[in-house]
Each structure stands twice: as structure tokens, then as C-alpha cells.
Amino acid sequence: MANVILNVEGMSCGHCVSSVEKAVGNLGASATVNLAAKTVAVDYDDSKLSLGAIKEAIEEQGYDVVQ
């Protein structure tokens, strides 16, 4: 398992939080958004899922993964 904290721009409300958490959840990972800090903490199985796929899922929702 791996844990990363991504800096994500553009999240502003509860709707954004649930979109991001759902998109990452659909990949079989778990995401916890911190709106104030503009971060998304992701726990995932790095033998099954790449970090790139997670970033892509977040960006598909319309947010920018800064790192």
C-alpha cells in the first residue's frame, strides 16, 4: 500500500470534495480531501494502481493536480 498527499487546485465546496473522493474511490483507492489545505490524501495499492491514474481521475473531474 502507498499513501500520497497531492496538492489539488480548484476544489471549493462539498461538491468538489465528493467528486474527488468518488472519482478516486472508483479506482479502488481511498481519498480524503482537506479543502482548507487544498490537499487530497490518497491511500492505494501501488501494485494495482499507478499514481498517474489517480491524478488523471482527479483532473477528469476538472481539478488541477499541482504535484
Please report, as ranges, the residues that interact with Cu ion according to CB under 5 A. Answer: 12-13, 15-16
Q: Residue 15 or 36: which CB sits closer to Cu ion? A: 15
Q: Residue 16 or 49: which CB sits closer to Cu ion? A: 16
Total Cβ atoms within 10 A of residue 22: 12
Closest separation in Å from C-beta 60 to Cu ion: 15
Closest separation in Å from C-beta 47 to Cu ion: 32
What are the phi and psi torsion angles at 41 (to 5°)?
-90, 125
Helices (H), 1-67: 14-25, 51-60
Q: Residue 12 or 50: which CB sits closer to Cu ion? A: 12
Task: Count how many Cα atoms sit within 13 Å of the Cα of residue 7 in the half-sphere of its side chain.
Answer: 3
Closest separation in Å from C-beta 67 to Cu ion: 21
